[in-house]
């Protein structure tokens, strides 16, 4: 993805690298005093031997442009270059460090980066593999879409009316009675959480969630200054909520159907208990329901389906089912909430892609979407079974798991607390990328979110073998 | 866009309205104690006479579901309904009022709402009219796009590499030397500002801007807790910047080419002065350059073109030129900035629509985009001339303006301070929507942002006649 030397250039590879690094420094992309990537990283980026990188760096050192610091790496040189430029640049690092939003966890940043690389086995990725995406059908559907000029201008604050109308019909099958006015289109479920954080909660609010939680891996509430509070579904829950609720504004976040990362679902009784507890205490609920269409068996109802009080903010999306690249999701909520979130969306990105909305409209209206879901569930189920066989064969003595009920994930629990950052990095060295449990619950060193939706079963087999080898090696 | 009674229903119009309002209350969309829209608003929404609405409301009052309060409107009744429900609902209003993000200005909310209606003359809209959008060509281009499965999964943090590569070529024509690594795709320029606010500035930072300013109408920095500081390009500017910069972290926002709302551009000398002043003081600059392709004459350079220090964060977009519905823009900036903004984008919406990115890629790669721009500039120029003729004829005694150099707007200055909210609302009553100067500068009661890009010249003529009539009427 990044710059590489060109084989066709009139310059040697090593000269091209020197020129490129110079231009990075010259144009201010690599600031004075900043650290260069390691030789290993540069060699990987350029797709060359380390010795070629070494050669280029030596040249640059001789020119006084960079300098090695004992045991700490190579830096853009301070003095010479500074003199040459006769200026200092904006101190971006200070800007970044003092700004509002939290950075992604280091492990997440690495995952985001390595997921873009070609030859990595992705054991934890929460996205459909290219061969599960209906790419050809999507391409075909592009030809069937007729655009209206009105539709490709700035969007109405809540998004396409046609799409919201179709969604209000579609949601009836999920037991949810709503109207287009109470639906808002968002750019995926994560944006819905971001808008809720900005538009409905004061700083320091409590966000209740079970552990492990998807929210710990994305920080939409944490970055907005909210406090995450872990709760468990037990006899003490009501008391806990009651005590804390008195102190601060609160909201309850949950994924009752096919939880991320555990893959587990609540029973109807459990849903009702939480719903009534929250209603009693006037704590709004966020029901994140992006996986339910991927249940292998009949779906349990949505919590929203027994909500006649406007207690539940319901979130859906096509990212897990049709294509994440569409960036289309929706929120169902009472009018004041929808109007508020729509108002903020108009201030942050002026609405979601009209083209993506047209595509989803077409897929819902034509029935293509539901037909695709049937096929997709079958394929995911097949993959889940095969991976479960692999686990049975190779992991039953060192780990436990529950049979998948649908969705993407198996929440693999190792008997020993071995899933730490060291293991994560060691596997990365073997080009195997895992989603360790600690990104969903910082104190968890037992779990891995194993995903059967992205890598092929063959790749998963190789990846799991690497996991076993690495664990043995570390013992 | 909202619910309306159906002519084909077996219920009378008035019964349908009663049922609909009941369901709003029952489902919690209209909370107990909340105020109903006015009769006028309801009649407009339902497209019926006020008397029909009155009839329906009388029925609901008789049922005890709503109650009139002296001189203040009609409310969802407290007691009877409350007893019936036996519960209170989440207090959304309290949630909204105590939350982080600022609401849009009231006038902006009204504009956003009325822009969705059919029979409104929009004199201020900053978007291409349906007949200036290349809708048919866009539809055609959908058929030429071949999708790759990889491209419709979750996006790389910075967006499509192919698109960034094309943009780095395209930007050369604007004098900007950059590389795909230093470009990030965003969902429009506004999102870029939102990400900069969250990712590069601490709360209470100073954001320098000239008055009037587009930023006052969208609040991306204000909502994140930054302080807006007005500056003027004069002899005292450097001192002002120097004094304030010492106190807090700062950034300078500007639209040097075809400013929004004034339509004016800076001279090269002015750009250089600001650039050097900011460089001297290490104040980063945001150059919002979304209009430059619409200059009727040769474009002046971008400030970014003489930035060899990574001082300028450059923002571009296709929203003003190709289609706002694509929601595609870009930021060019030093690596640490791009990486930071991309990281936050991954936390807020996981990237921009892959489909929109594919479309823009196709338009840039095929040359369609630049061909379209030539045609678009011609048409805008023709519209501008016609509107200037109208102004010459009818407004020269009460207002002044500068001849348009391109883009969308004429910044019309009335000799008297008459452009207040009263005028805005009076015109709305006549179904004419203006963008009053006070949304760009709260103290300005002289200006209107007159746009020749949306309404037809005939509509503009009618709209302007209404403006004249209303002003005369108010005198």
**Chain A (61-90) residues lying within 8 Å, Cβ to Cβ, of chain B:** 85, 87-90
Whole-number Cα distances in Å, A369 to A322, A373, A376:
8, 6, 10
In this structure, the answer to whether residues B311 and B209 fall within a common structural domain is: yes
How high is the pLDDT of residue A238? 85
Task: Return the pLDDT at A258.
Answer: 97
pLDDT at A10: 58
Contact across the interface for B326 and A353, Cβ inside 8 Å = yes
Residues of A within 8 A of B317 (CB-CB) are: none
Could you tell me if B381 and B457 lie in one domain? Answer: yes
Residues of A in contact with B91 (CB under 8 A): 282
Chain B residues within 8 A of A180 when measuring between CB atoms: 2-3
What tokens does A19 get? 């020129």
From the centroid of its chain, how far is CA B283? 26
A383 and A463, same domain (yes or no) = yes
Residues B388 and B354 in one domain: no
Instruction: Mark which residues 353-372 of B lie under 8 Å from A by CB.
Output: 353-356, 359
Nearest CA among A174, A146, A160 for reference residue A373: A174
- Same-domain status, B232 and B298: yes
Residue A213, domain CATH: 3.40.640.10
pLDDT of residue B85: 46
pLDDT (tens digit, 9 = 90+) per residue, B438-449? 999 999 999 999
pLDDT at site A82? 47
Q: Select from A152, A177, A219 the Cβ nearest to the Cβ of B135.
A: A152
Q: b/e per residue, B205-236, with b = 16+ CB within 10 A?
A: bbbbbbbbbbbbbbbbbbbbebebbebeeeee
Same domain, yes or no, for A302 and A412? no
Q: How far apart are CA A51 and CA A73, in angstroms?
A: 16
Task: Specify whether the CB–CB gap between B405 and B295 falls below 8 A.
Answer: yes
Give φ, ψ of A46 to 5 degrees. Answer: -80, -15
User: Is B197 within 8 Å of chain A by CB?
Assistant: yes
* Residue B4 resides in a domain: no
Query: Does a structural domain hold residue B6?
Result: no
Size of interface A-B (CB pairs under 8 A): 362
B353:A89 CB<8 A = no
Pick from B128, B152, B279: CB nearest A135: B152
B351 contact A CB<8A: yes
Is residue A205 domain-shared with residue A322, that is, in the same domain?
yes
> Which stretches of B9-128 are DSSP H helices?
13-26, 39-46, 50-62, 79-85, 92-98, 106-114
pLDDT of residue B79: 55
Task: Answer yes or no: is A8 within a domain.
Answer: no
Q: Which residues of chain B have pLDDT under 70?
A: 1, 8-11, 78-89
Cα separation, A28 vs B335, in Å, equals: 8
Mutation target to probe the A interface, by most A beta carbons within 10 A, among B28, B104, B201, B433 is: B28
Last residue of a domain, one of A366, A393, A408: A366
Burial class of residue A54 (count of CB atoms within 10 Å of its CB; 0-12, 13-18, 19+): middle
Q: Which residues in chain A (238-277) have CB-CB distances under 8 A to chain B?
A: 249
Judgement on whether residues B179 and B61 belong to the same structural domain of the protein? no
Chain B CB within 8 Å of residue A177 CB: yes
Cα separation, A292 vs B6, in Å, equals 34
Q: Is residue A259 part of a domain?
A: yes
* Domain end point (choices A308, A343, A366): A366
Whole-number Å distance between alpha carbons of A368 and A137: 9
Domain count, chain B: 3
- A residues 430-449 near B, CB within 8 Å? none
Radius of gyration of chain A (CA): 25
* Residue at which a domain ends, from B342, B366, B390: B366
Question: What sections of A367-456 are H helices per DSSP?
Answer: 368-394, 421-429
Q: Touching check for B6 and chain A: CB below 8 Å?
A: no
- The closest alpha carbon to B154, from A320, A279, A68, belongs to A320
**Statement to judge: residues A74 and A152 lie in one domain:** no
Test A311 with B30 for CB contact under 8 angstroms.
no
Buried b (16+ CB within 10 A) or exposed e, A238-264: bebbeebbeeebbbbbbbbbbbbbbbb
**Residues β-bridged to residue A209:** A230
Q: Does B39 touch chain A (CB under 8 A)?
A: no
Asked if A318 reaches chain B (Cβ–Cβ under 8 Å), the answer is no
- Residue B156 lies inside a defined structural domain of this protein: yes
Domain that residue A66 falls in: 13-98
Per-residue pLDDT of chain A (475 residues; tens, 9 = 90+): 578 887 766 567 887 888 888 878 877 778 778 888 988 889 988 988 888 898 888 888 877 788 888 778 888 886 545 444 434 567 788 888 888 888 888 899 899 888 888 899 999 999 999 999 999 999 999 999 999 888 888 888 999 999 999 999 999 999 999 999 999 999 999 999 999 999 999 999 999 999 999 999 988 999 999 999 999 988 888 888 888 877 788 999 999 999 999 999 999 999 999 999 998 888 999 999 999 999 999 878 999 999 988 899 999 999 999 999 999 999 999 998 999 999 999 888 999 999 999 999 999 999 999 999 999 999 999 999 999 999 999 999 999 999 999 999 999 999 999 999 999 999 999 999 999 999 999 999 999 999 999 999 999 999 999 999 999 987 7
Instruction: Closest CB to B326: pick one of A142, A179, A355.
Output: A355
The CA-based angle B163-B352-A42, given to 5 degrees, is: 55
Q: Is residue B272 part of a domain?
A: yes
Q: What is the CATH number of the domain that holds B48?
A: 1.10.10.10
What CATH number is given to the structural domain containing B449? Answer: 3.90.1150.10
B31/A contact by beta carbon, under 8 A? yes
């Amino acid at each position: 993805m990044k710059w590489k030397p060109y084989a066709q250039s009139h310059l040697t590879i090593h000269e091209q690298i020197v020129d490129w690094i110079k231009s990075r420094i010259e144009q201010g992309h690599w600031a004075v005093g900043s650290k260069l990537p390691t030789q290993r990283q540069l060699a990987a980026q350029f797709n060359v031997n380390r010795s070629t990188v070494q050669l280029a760096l030596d040249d640059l050192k001789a020119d006084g442009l960079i300098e090695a610091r004992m045991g700490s790496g190579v830096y853009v040189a301070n003095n010479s270059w500074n003199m040459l430029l006769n200026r200092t640049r904006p101190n971006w690092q200070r800007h970044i460090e003092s700004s509002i939003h939290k950075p992604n966890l280091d492990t997440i940043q690495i995952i985001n980066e390595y997921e873009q690389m070609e030859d990595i086995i992705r054991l934890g990725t929460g996205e459909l593999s290219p061969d599960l995406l209906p790419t050809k059908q999507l391409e075909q559907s592009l030809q069937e879409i007729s655009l209206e000029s009105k539709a490709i201008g700035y969007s109405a604050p809540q998004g396409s009316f046609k799409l919201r109308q179709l969604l209000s019909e579609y949601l009836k099958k999920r037991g949810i009675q709503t109207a287009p006015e109470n639906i808002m289109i968002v750019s995926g479920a994560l944006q819905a959480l971001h808008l809720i954080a900005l538009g409905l909660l004061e700083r320091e609010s409590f966000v209740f969630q079970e552990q492990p939680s998807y929210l710990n891996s994305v920080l939409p509430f944490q970055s907005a200054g909210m406090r995450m509070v872990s709760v468990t579904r037990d006899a003490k829950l009501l008391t806990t909520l009651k005590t804390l609720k008195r102190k601060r504004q609160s909201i309850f976040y949950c994924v009752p159907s096919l939880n991320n990362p555990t893959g587990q679902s609540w029973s109807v009784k459990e849903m009702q208990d939480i719903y009534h507890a929250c209603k009693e205490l006037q704590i709004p609920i966020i029901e994140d329901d992006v996986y339910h269409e991927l249940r292998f068996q009949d779906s349990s109802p949505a919590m929203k389906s027994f909500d006649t009080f406007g207690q539940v903010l319901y979130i859906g999306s096509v990212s897990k089912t049709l294509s994440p690249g569409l960036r289309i999701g929706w929120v169902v909520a009472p009018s004041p909430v929808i109007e508020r979130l729509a108002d903020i969306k108009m201030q942050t990105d002026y609405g979601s892609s009209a083209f993506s909305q047209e595509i989803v409209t077409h897929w819902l209206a034509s029935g293509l979407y539901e037909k695709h879901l049937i096929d997709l569930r079958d394929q995911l189920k097949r993959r889940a079974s095969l991976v479960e066989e692999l686990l049975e064969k190779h992991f039953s003595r060192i780990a436990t798991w529950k049979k998948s009920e649908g969705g993407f994930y198996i929440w693999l629990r190792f008997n020993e607390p071995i899933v730490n950052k060291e293991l994560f990095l060691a596997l990365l060295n073997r080009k195997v990328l895992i989603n360790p449990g600690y990104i969903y619950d910082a104190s968890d060193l037992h779990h891995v979110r194993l995903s059967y939706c992205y890598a092929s079963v063959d790749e998963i087999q190789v990846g799991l073998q690497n996991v076993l080898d690495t664990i043995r090696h570390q013992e």
